[in-house]
Amino acid sequence: MSAEICTGGPVLQSVTVERVENGFVLRYRDPEIEALNRASDHWIDASKERIYSTAEALLADLRKLIPLMAGEEPDNSPAAVYKHALSEAFGKDNG
């Protein structure tokens, strides 16, 4: 069985986890290497594959990778929401 998590964000695009006979396989494309490939004539394979014998070890790495997929968390504090509402309400009149 395989599960894929995707985002449209600019950082880590997807992570694939596959169940295999002796554990799990985690696959993803390293966003740092992909950025280097776009900026250079020298190409490096950005594909990463890791094998885990336990779900706990897999989850430990997933906890590190998932925040890279989300990018920055939106600021939903009352002050930020108020500031955003003001900029939307008055931004068109001031522009």
Q: What is the pLDDT of residue 80?
A: 76
Please tell me the predicted confidence (pLDDT) of residue 2: 45
Tell me the domain boundaries of the chain: 2-94
pLDDT for position 1: 42
Query: Which 3 state secondary structure label does DSSP give 28?
Result: strand
Q: Take residue 55 and report the two structure tokens written for it.
A: 């779900």
The Cα 29–Cα 74 span in angstroms is: 24
Q: Residue 16: what pLDDT?
A: 93
14-23 tens-digit pLDDT: 889 999 999 9
Could you tell me the pTM of the whole model? 0.59
Q: What is the pLDDT of residue 27?
A: 94
Structure tokens at 26: 């985690």
